[in-house]
Chains A and B, each alone.
Chain A
Amino acid sequence: MSAAVPNDQLINDHLIEERESSILIKGGQRKNQLKCDADSIAGCISQRACVYCGARVVLNPVTDAIHLVHGPIGCASYTWDIRGSLSSGSELYRNSFSTDLKENDIIFGGEKKLARAIDELVQKYKAPVVFVYATCVVGVIGDDLEAVCKKAAQKHGIQVIPVQSSGFIGNKSAGYRAACDALLRLIEPRSAARPPVNKYRIKSINYLGDFNLAGEAWIITEYLRQIGVEVNVVFTGDSKCNNLQKAPGAALNIIQCAGSMAYLAQRMEELYGIPYMRVSFLGLEDTSASLRSIAAFFKDLQMQRRAEELIRRETVAVKPQMEGYRAKLRHKKAAIYVGGGFKAISLIKQFRELGIDVVMVGTQTGREEDYQTLHHIADNGTVILDDANPSELERFMTEKGAHLLVGGVKERPLAYKLGVAFIDHNHDRKHPLSGYVGAVNFAREVHDTVCSPVWKYARGSGGGIYAGS
């Protein structure tokens, strides 16, 4: 079976009609436009999460904040320290705070309980900021978060910021936006005399859209330091309230996770005149290209020279390892199903670096331009799909003979059940995947799972336990 032969038949039998337009095969005759950014169909198994989830992901790495979830208990329980973003200081963000709304609160409103919770927590923890997340129920019963937070802020002399993240008002992207709005409120200069914008720290940047999973932001900060760029603040990996408030002083914003932070960058350009640029530090190619564009932005020859030096040094250092992995992984087939489009694009490039063919790529919340890029760079025959459900993932991985799936927590056991290797490119990742070291870690993880001897036992078992022997 050649991957280059487009096979529309693959799609037509057995898939849900409404889902047809969300799936396409590169090079297939049917179409080259994918439907995306649409609501999931009721009654489908979707891998998607909600607005609150999006907001929480983005804000959680503000380490010295009290993250108070206003709602019934579950929303807070499930998000208790599952994010994997590391801190160099405060660990307060790793606790789980909830107003734990009860029936009475639903009937009579939860504002009083919320106010009490804020009072008690602020007293106990002396935190500089409280984020109050609205969950679905709060949106429906109509608690006035704005008012409660304002009052609490005055009372305690700190920032108490509502996050409008009721789950039903959209999907995860709406949550990113809610988080960005909250951040904008946090960094808004409070004195009437704004600091002089953007001029006084010439070589300083804000690094947006890195949540310091497994310490990734630290790696990138160090590269930038070496080429002579000072990272003013990371949004929001390992960040603290008072660093964040210095954000308007940077000369440039660079964005790693565009899905979550492009909006914030746009707003900061409007408000503070800070230009922004998209970067990616996933994979050797993207990392090098990003360092070059940052150096080019500053029009500083010294910096450009240092960047080239760093790129050469680091590339040379990782080359032998990468080639070792490449030799073992060449012509393996990978499937990708991740949250955002930008990550999917980076992953395709990374697999290329390893000689791996990508046979399926999909996202939960990719946008039209992401899918255009994906379509552009994918090989002929690659299945491209939006908001996939497990049966579709199973079907295409099996049909395309994938050896590996990249995804998040819910995809892992699915892959394993199929006898397919897996790596987590989400919050459960255990090693940093950014930068040059990250590229090696990624290659190693791919290798260690794809080449594990366990699959020998797993594969034979399809036709009964002793079938393969």
Chain B
Amino acid sequence: MLDCTPKEIIKRSGGVINPAKTCQPIGAMYAALGIHNCLPHSHGSQGCCAYHRSHLTRHFREPVMATTSSFTEGASVFGGGGNLKTAIKNVFAIYNPDVMAVHTTCLSETIGDDIPTLIKSAEVPEGKVVIHANTPSYQGSHITGFSNMVKGMVDYLARSDTDEKKEQVNIIPGFINPGDMREIKRLVSKMGIKFIMFPDTSGVMDSPMTGKFHMFPAGGARVEDIRDTGNSRLTIALGYYASSNPAHQLERNCRVPAMTIKTPIGIKATDDLLMTLRGKFTREIPYELEEERGQLVDVMTDTHHHFYGKKVAIFGDPDILTGLTEFVLSLGMRPVHVLTGTPGGTLGGPQGIFEKEINEMLAAARLEGRVKAAGDLFELHQWIKNEPVDLLMGNTYGKYIARAEDIPFVRVGFPILDRSTHPYLPIVGYRGAMRLVEMISNALLDRQDRDAADEDLELVM
């Protein structure tokens, strides 16, 4: 049995057991893959880069390309400037990307390499760009890293060329799967609004099989489009943690007003996205989307009796969790434990925005639950031992808890290392919500079938 977690909760102060987050560079690497013809570059030792590539590979089941500065002892003593300059030269000579997106690792951060200065003094071929983000992993999490790299895109690429803003919206999707990004693009397109999504990993991390290996698959936000985000009329940041920081940076740099709304997971958050677009661009919501919404409501009413009062524990990345929590509440479930590994206050703002937001949702539903940012899965497991749940939702690492406590388990979020196809299939939008309903009810009803005595097994459920 894989259960090494005692029930009794004791105070801990010396680190983490079974983390619910990982480190900044992997988020930065993923974000960078959302630029067309971009090669992420890890400034540090080889190991980090190898781990980040492996982990992304396991989640997406796609080749993940990234170069590294390959630090050795010399670099760690005398600084990695030389390595970075060599790397810049080699990257363009060998792989010829349009953009090289440098992120730091803990090591180069600790040594204190001054990346912007190094980039300025390096020889970057005509027409090519090197952008960067500082991503020390002793702060934040992979979500912070994602946000930082998107901010880097804004700083290096976005330009405001005209006083008059264009009738177009920037969408910063946050750390979600390419299938989710596709779905959001579909919704915005259906509204008939011109948009620029960045980063956009669709077509890169869900690229089709062609029989050829493409170092740079066809997808991703194009540099000229990211440049043009400075001319847009509005930026919608989806998810406070992964997206709002770059959106505000764009507002400061190019006077593009920024607003942050939830990642559109579940019916209410999807409504919010569409209503925002409608309000800001005075468009009608097309019948097709109304139809989809109606179908979702139909599914929810058909199945609500399966869900009512069921206790659920949810963990993962904060932007995903706010949507998921709101959605399971709308199904009548009781999210009694909600935990993220990402610490609060990533914007330099107050701690505990995550806790506050979830607690407000719970309060509105007259429920109480345990909510925590900067937690780990050991703690979540202890909570569950003390207050059992009917369902667990989260990334692959939840399978240990699910097995130890014998709880049905729905895999959502990052990383999912033991199932396939998820990067293609959205959980956002009305259709994504339908898929969530299906996943949740399959988990609960399969369980009911499996546990039913012969005489209790029902054909119709």
A and B part of one assembly:
yes
A residues near B, CB below 8 A?
Answer: 16, 39-53, 68, 71-80, 91-92, 94-103, 105-106, 113-121, 124-125, 135-137, 139-141, 167-171, 390-391, 394, 409-410, 412-414, 416-419, 458-462
Do the beta carbons of B209 and A168 come within 8 Å of each other? no
> What is the chain A residue whose CB lies nearest that of B22?
A77
Do the beta carbons of B138 and A72 come within 8 Å of each other? yes
List residues of B (6-25) whose CB comes within 8 Å of A's CBs.
6, 10, 12-19, 21-25
User: CA–CA, A179 to B380, complex, Å?
Assistant: 32
> What is the chain B residue whose CB lies nearest that of A101?
B138
Do the beta carbons of B15 and A136 come within 8 Å of each other? no
Given contact pairs A50-B47, A77-B21, a sample of 13 additional A-B residue pairs in the complex whose CB atoms are under 8 Å apart: A42-B68, A42-B70, A50-B45, A51-B47, A73-B141, A75-B47, A76-B19, A99-B14, A119-B14, A135-B106, A140-B111, A167-B45, A390-B63
Do the beta carbons of A43 and B69 come within 8 Å of each other? yes
A414 and B213 in contact, given A80-B19, A91-B2 (Cβ under 8 angstroms) = yes
> What is the chain B residue whose CB lies nearest that of A113?
B14
Whether, in the assembled complex, B439 has its beta carbon less than 8 Å from a beta carbon of chain A, the answer is no
User: CA–CA, A44 to B52, complex, Å?
Assistant: 15
Residues of A within 8 A of B64 (CB): 410
Do the beta carbons of A46 and B41 come within 8 Å of each other? no
Question: 1/0 per position for B419-435, CB-CB distance to A under 8 A?
Answer: 00000000000000000
How many residue pairs, one in A and one in B, have C-beta atoms under 8 Å apart?
Answer: 254
Residues of B within 8 A of A45 (CB): 65-68, 95
The one of B19, B45, B47 that contacts A98, using a Cβ cutoff of 8 Å: B19
Tally of contact residues, B, Cβ under 8 A: 84
User: CA–CA, A227 to B274, complex, Å?
Assistant: 73
Q: 9 A–B contact pairs at CB < 8 A?
A: A42-B90, A46-B49, A96-B16, A136-B105, A136-B107, A167-B47, A168-B72, A168-B75, A417-B207
Whether, in the assembled complex, B87 has its beta carbon less than 8 Å from a beta carbon of chain A, the answer is yes
Do the beta carbons of A106 and B138 come within 8 Å of each other? yes
The one of A16, A44, A48, A92 that contacts B4, using a Cβ cutoff of 8 Å: A92
Question: 1/0 per position for B199-234, CB-CB distance to A under 8 A?
Answer: 000000001111111110000000000000000000
Identify the 6 closest CB pairs spanning chains A and B, nearest first: A50-B47, A74-B23, A117-B14, A43-B90, A43-B87, A116-B14
Do the beta carbons of B110 and A141 come within 8 Å of each other? yes
Prevailing SS type, chain A contact patch: helix
A96 and B17 in contact, given A42-B86, A44-B67, A410-B57 (Cβ under 8 angstroms) = yes
B37 to chain A, nearest CB (A): 15
User: CA–CA, A206 to B55, complex, Å?
Assistant: 34
Do the beta carbons of A72 and B90 come within 8 Å of each other? no
Residues of A within 8 A of B63 (CB): 390, 410, 413-414, 417
User: CA–CA, A168 to B80, complex, Å?
Assistant: 12
Do the beta carbons of A48 and B54 come within 8 Å of each other? no
User: CA–CA, A172 to B446, complex, Å?
Assistant: 45
Do the beta carbons of A53 and B90 come within 8 Å of each other? no
User: CA–CA, A41 to B67, complex, Å?
Assistant: 10
A46 and B70 in contact, given A96-B18, A102-B139 (Cβ under 8 angstroms) = yes
Residues of A within 8 A of B94 (CB): 16, 43-44, 391
A12 to chain B, nearest CB (A): 15
Most chain B CB inside 10 Å of its own CB: which residue of A125, A168, A419: A168
A113 and B83 in contact, given A50-B48, A416-B209, A417-B213 (Cβ under 8 angstroms) = no
Do the beta carbons of B70 and A44 come within 8 Å of each other? yes
B64 to chain A, nearest CB (A): 7
A48 and B46 in contact, given A73-B23, A102-B138, A461-B209 (Cβ under 8 angstroms) = yes
Residues of A within 8 A of B214 (CB): 417
> What is the chain A residue whose CB lies nearest that of B137?
A72
Question: 1/0 per position for B48-64, CB-CB distance to A under 8 A?
Answer: 11111111011001111
Residues of B within 8 A of A105 (CB): 138
A165 to chain B, nearest CB (A): 9
The one of B3, B26, B90 that contacts A74, using a Cβ cutoff of 8 Å: B26
Residues of A within 8 A of B107 (CB): 136-137, 140, 167-168
